[in-house]
Amino acid sequence: MKKQLLRMRVNGRDVEVYVRPDARLIDVLRDLGYLSVKEGCGTGECGACTVIMDGKTVLSCITFALQANGKEIITVEGLAKNGKLHPVQEAFIEKGAVQCGYCIPGFIMSTVYLLNENPNPTHEDILDALEGNLCRCTGYVKIIEAVKEAASRLKKEA
């Protein structure tokens, strides 16, 4: 199988890599070292592999790598600025929203996307926005508290 050129921007860095035409985005990102991107179900149901592509969350386990050609990808590794964690990351830590942690990168990316789109989400908005992310430890109460905390931190920053 002939590999094909994939050009994308990951966390602000231009990347050129040859990939199998049927490679998944998740595998290519992990091979590049972006290990925050987790594979849970591998079938697009649990949200652990969520990254942001051209401003919108996408499930990297059911996306062909070459679909990202020419696009901009953001993973959890790209959130911290100047050595300081992103307010969403800080809020998850402060609220104790992390148990085993496996689902958290997906929740963080879904939260970043939600707060970009809607800086003042209601409780219901948060439930809707996170419906595609599953936490097997079932730590949803703390996760939702963290999203609310993140929203207020971002507002203070703005």
- Please give the residue ranges that form the binding site for another protein (CB under 8 A): 1-2, 4, 20-22, 24, 43-45, 47, 50, 53, 56-59, 62-64, 66-67, 69-70, 110, 113, 128-129, 131-133
Q: Would you say 99 or 118 has its CB closer to another protein?
A: 118
Q: Would you say 58 or 108 has its CB closer to another protein?
A: 58
Q: Smallest distance from the beta carbon of 84 to another protein, in angstroms?
A: 27
Q: Smallest distance from the beta carbon of 117 to another protein, in angstroms?
A: 9
Q: Smallest distance from the beta carbon of 77 to another protein, in angstroms?
A: 19
Q: How far is CA 21 from CA 5, 38, 46, 48, in A?
A: 9, 21, 25, 23
Q: How far is CA 20 from CA 51, 55, 123, 131, 136, in A?
A: 20, 25, 42, 32, 32
Q: How far is CA 114 from CA 13, 83, 107, 136, in A?
A: 24, 23, 10, 21
DSSP code for 29: H
Q: Would you say 2 or 84 has its CB closer to another protein?
A: 2
